Structure 1
């Protein structure tokens, strides 16, 4: 049996209506447009209103991706939702499955924070390569505004909401050229959205914890240091695995966390600025959604063309990081 290849054949994205610029945040915390823009590159972000659920945003992005792949929702075998902010702690993928009418697809959530989309891509690839499923919908979606402390100026300026999706299909030629995934739980404490327990005595001598979640906490310096060191390393490793050199990369597509990280990684890899895809000025850090939103935008603008080679990398809480190198289209 010959090996089954993988193609990434369609993309879609959806963001909330409401846009909040840096100036508006000065009403909440001591900050300025100049301070935020110079340190992060972010100028505005989209925030979901209470009526906008993760499932609805994800379904919108998904429908676009399915249409651009030229298939229908009924053709899907599998839906993977990469998210850290589901509408339902039991998972939101099944809700999306119903919403888009993907009646024969199995659906589940995958949580790997800002690396979720890359982890999801590699997970989907295994199902396709093994011959089990032919058509997979991979969604990256997060509504981090639900979990931000709007009084914490070190984090509240960073995050935005959104959803992006791609369709991955079994294909004659293999377009997923290489990948590397990494985790290091010893650095977990640098970025958290932790459970917050309140102890409750259920009956005498039986205590349980009931609770909610703390807002996001982050050690920005350490996360920056981690990203700038580990991301070039993991892309290098994946290039080697794919038997490519850095000049053959058409686009560098990083998780849109901070413009300074994007610049530093590109510089370390000797990738010129014009090959770096960046849209975080408009959307902020949308976690698992950032790579597919940026991908979809670049495809729709005609920047990314069929056969272009894309080096993508996600990095974030866990700590987790990974890279995937793929050619766009069939």
Structure 2
């Protein structure tokens, strides 16, 4: 069988690192208030010369180096983002040009915080079809550009960053081989008003600002994430006890705790970076994955579950043998 194998990971963060204390000088909030409700202590904010494309390119370069392949070896780029550099063309094509790739398939996927999981499934299907052989799958965001900095209930939650993986189609002789074992995606557009941006080219002609009803989002997130992780494990033929690590969307520490308890997974199997990076939307899963691989927690052969939920609502999970 053909499987899509993660051969390298990379991440990138803006230079500016903002603590809760620094944020409290500009917003009516406090370190204690933010930590108690979210677990967030720091976030990175993009500067004038840092964009979704530049962060995505830096993350991609790191992933390529980790995989030991050249940019010219890539024939597919799928970039998940809700904050593209331009309405069009796709930010993926800007990354392609920055990497010096003259020709490859390159496009964006828009599924907000679940975007990376959507991008993974799309790339996996294209690689297993035999049309492409090696892909860059990227999640990159500059959410600071769409925040209402006078709304303390939302602006403290988000940060900017990027994460990337190199996926390669490889033949696997048995069920124990490396690669993506299962993916499961969902969407339910009835919940638009719970988490959205109040602008767009065809409605207001503006970029708009992020709006969220936090309590309702929390309730849906815990239920949906636990369910989709269970679904993905069933597809992969695995049990929760087979999981070595969960790499969740880094939205809120309380959501991470509640989701792991609902699925019966110990907290020490959950990769947590929300305290350092806040919610980086589509970037959060690949960014956390890269951190945990580089610090030695996630090792080759281990079973890892990736999961996320975002505005729309969209949500999904992927089971991977590293």
Q: Deviations over 1:99-147 (max 9, x none)?
A: 0112232111110000000000000011011110000000100000000
Q: Give yes or no for the alignment of 1:190 onto 2:184.
A: no
Aligned to 2:42: 44
Aligned to 2:139: 140
Aligned to 1:202: none
Partners of 1:148 and 1:156 within 8 A in 2 = yes
Aligned to 2:247: 253
Aligned to 1:72: 70
Deviation for aligned residue 1:54: 1.4
Quick one: distance in 2 between partners of 1:80 and 1:17? 25
Partners of 2:52 and 2:85 within 8 A in 1 = yes
Deviation for aligned residue 1:209: 6.6
Aligned to 2:124: 125
Quick one: distance in 2 between partners of 1:71 and 1:105? 15
Q: Which runs of 5+ in 1 are unaligned?
A: 198-207
- CA, structure 1 residues 115+209, in 2 after alignment: closer, same or farther (shift >3 Å)? closer
Partners of 2:199 and 2:209 within 8 A in 1 = no
Aligned to 2:229: 235
Q: Deviations over 1:282-320 (max 9, x none)?
A: 110000000011000111101110111101101010110
Q: Deviations over 1:242-273 (max 9, x none)?
A: 11010110001110000000000111111111
Partners of 1:257 and 1:284 within 8 A in 2 = yes
TM-score (norm 2): 0.96
Matches within 5 A, 1:135-284: 135-173=134-172, 175-195=179-199, 211-284=205-278
Aligned to 1:113: 112
Matches within 5 A, 1:294-305: 294-305=288-299
Deviation for aligned residue 1:149: 0.4
Partners of 2:12 and 2:161 within 8 A in 1 = yes
Deviation for aligned residue 1:196: 5.9
Quick one: distance in 2 between partners of 1:196 and 1:165? 27
Quick one: distance in 2 between partners of 1:286 and 1:195? 20
Q: In the comparison of the two structures, how many residue pairs are matched?
A: 316
Deviation for aligned residue 1:324: 0.4
Q: Deviations over 1:225-257 (max 9, x none)?
A: 000011001111111111101011000111000
Partners of 1:255 and 1:313 within 8 A in 2 = yes
> Which structure's CA Rg is the greater one?
1
Q: Which runs of 4+ in 1 moved over 6 A?
A: none
Deviation for aligned residue 1:210: 6.0
Quick one: distance in 2 between partners of 1:232 and 1:219? 20
Partners of 1:193 and 1:214 within 8 A in 2 = yes
Deviation for aligned residue 1:214: 2.2
Partners of 2:134 and 2:167 within 8 A in 1 = yes
Quick one: distance in 2 between partners of 1:127 and 1:230? 27
Deviation for aligned residue 1:213: 2.5
Quick one: distance in 2 between partners of 1:297 and 1:196? 34
Quick one: distance in 1 between partners of 2:204 and 2:237? 51
Quick one: distance in 2 between partners of 1:210 and 1:29? 27
Partners of 1:76 and 1:104 within 8 A in 2 = no
Aligned to 1:24: 22
Partners of 1:150 and 1:156 within 8 A in 2 = yes
Quick one: distance in 2 between partners of 1:271 and 1:192? 30
Aligned to 2:91: 92
Partners of 2:157 and 2:278 within 8 A in 1 = yes
Alignment RMSD (CA, Å): 1.3
